[in-house]
Chain A
Amino acid sequence: MLSRGTVYKGKTGMWAFTAHRVTGFLVLMFLLLHVVDVTLAGISEHLYDTVHAVYGNVLLRLFEVGLLGALVFHALNGLRIIAVDFFDAAVRRQKQLAWAVVAVTAVVTVLGGIVIMLPFFTHKPVF
């Protein structure tokens, strides 16, 4: 393999590598959009509140859950990559670590997803 795929020691397979790329890219795209919407707050209170209210609809809430999943996966898998780069013990436990990343991501995304989606139906914040 000639590309930077070489930094991923071990043979956990292509899926974690691909998922890390896709989630990193998507989180950056969201961040670019997010800076633009916060910039509106510096321009006008009314403008910001009007645009921001759109995030409360069901589609953008689902999008928010997706962002949570992408961010949590990328963060945990990033930690796994770093551990594998620096510690032999982590290289030996590659597979288990990769599955732990997937499991924790799933749990956090489902629980967080419930907190994010519920207010749409109950019309009041969870906390």
Chain B
Amino acid sequence: MAQTLDRNETGTESDQSSAAPNRAEARMWYYMRISGLILVFLALIHFAITHIVNDVVETDFAFVQTRWSNPLWRFFDWTLLALALSHGVIGVRTIAEDYIRKPRLRVAVKALLFTVVAGIFLLGTITIVTFSA
């Protein structure tokens, strides 16, 4: 992690002084784009069904029950959860790298961010898997 931080201090994407962090940064760069492309479909379909085609007051417990009686919807929802959380957490990590200049504060904020998002991922996964329709 400390090496990743160095990259930010030393320079731009093309900086070759430390290859390993750059490779990690490059992978994240691609991950943001690939997950983004998939999220266009998953997130917008999800929003259209649960906020536009159905009104908010209609997406009650009975709605969740009907929807999750089909394992394919559980799979859809879990994929959306995993992609949106991972894309979002990597994105906010970048924001933290850019704006938080104090190294120790930056590490603390990122640790908090990863912990909260991991907890929410666990919670969502348990809910999707264990819900009895």
Using a CB–CB distance below 8 Å, which chain A residues touch chain B? Answer: 2-7, 21, 24-25, 27-28, 31-32, 35-36, 38-39, 41-42, 45, 48-49, 52-53, 55-56, 60-61, 64, 68, 71-72, 75, 78-79, 82, 85, 112, 115-116, 119, 125-127
**Can you report 7 A-B residue pairs in the complex whose CB atoms are below 8 A from each other?**
A3-B8, A24-B91, A25-B95, A39-B124, A42-B127, A52-B56, A116-B55
- Asked if A39 and B127 sit within 8 Å, CB to CB, the answer is yes
Among the listed B54, B88, B130, which residue makes an inter-chain contact with A31, where contact means beta carbons less than 8 Å apart?
Answer: B88
Known interface pairs A4-B94, A64-B51, A78-B40; 13 further A-B residue pairs with C-beta atoms within 8 A, sorted by A's residue number: A3-B97, A4-B13, A21-B91, A25-B92, A27-B84, A28-B84, A31-B84, A32-B116, A41-B127, A49-B61, A72-B44, A115-B52, A119-B55
Which parts of B42-88 form the interface with A (CB within 8 Å)? 43-44, 47, 51-61, 64, 81, 84-85, 88
Nearest-Cβ distance from residue B45 to partner chain A, whole angstroms? 11
**B51 surroundings in chain A (CB, below 8 A):** 64, 68, 112, 116
Using a CB–CB distance below 8 Å, which chain B residues touch chain A? Answer: 8, 11-13, 29, 33, 36-37, 39-40, 43-44, 47, 51-61, 64, 81, 84-85, 88-89, 91-92, 94-95, 97-98, 116-117, 120, 123-124, 126-127, 130-131
